[in-house]
Amino acid sequence: MNTLRITTMALALLSATDLALADGMNSMNMKDLSMSGQRTDKMTGKVHHATGIVKKMDASAGQVTISHGPINSIPWPPMTMTFAVKDKQMLRQVTTGEKIDFDLVQSGKDQYTVTKISPAHD
């Protein structure tokens, strides 16, 4: 009888440990990692701030190409990217070659949208 009780308690403890480990793995949420292993913001609406230079604008498509510095909150190294803009009217505020500060939020799995553009504050 004592052996049965010890075996039952051991199995219950192992089951609880397995559940805790499984729950820990679920909270890691591997889908939050990009192919490079970098964590994404899961479209939480978190605003990322950056500085860059406007390389190209397409007002009719609502897109802007920006050569930006590192964006540590995503984390991204410096690169040139084309982004959709939240409001096409923002593109009237800037010119090609201008240094800007801008905000962006994740708008799709691998897509970010510029939500604010202003002249850079050096």
pLDDT digits (tens, 9 = 90+) for 67-85: 999 999 998 999 999 999 9
Residue 107 in contact with residue 83, Cβ under 8 Å? no
pLDDT at 12 > cutoff 90: no
Q: What does the pLDDT average to over 110-115?
A: 94
Residue 46 in contact with residue 73, Cβ under 8 Å? yes
**Each residue of 33-46: pLDDT tens digit?**
344 343 444 455 79
Q: How is residue 33 annotated by DSSP?
A: B
pLDDT at 65 > cutoff 80: yes
pLDDT bin (cut points 50, 70, 90) of residue 18 is low
Residue by residue, DSSP assigns 40-61 as: --TT----EEEEEEEEEEETTT
- This prediction's pTM: 0.64
Q: How is residue 62 annotated by DSSP?
A: T
Per-residue pLDDT, 109: 86
Which is more confidently placed, 24 or 54? Answer: 54
Residue by residue, DSSP assigns 87-106 as: -GGGGGG--TT-EEEEEEEE
Return the CATH class of domain 48-119. Answer: mainly beta
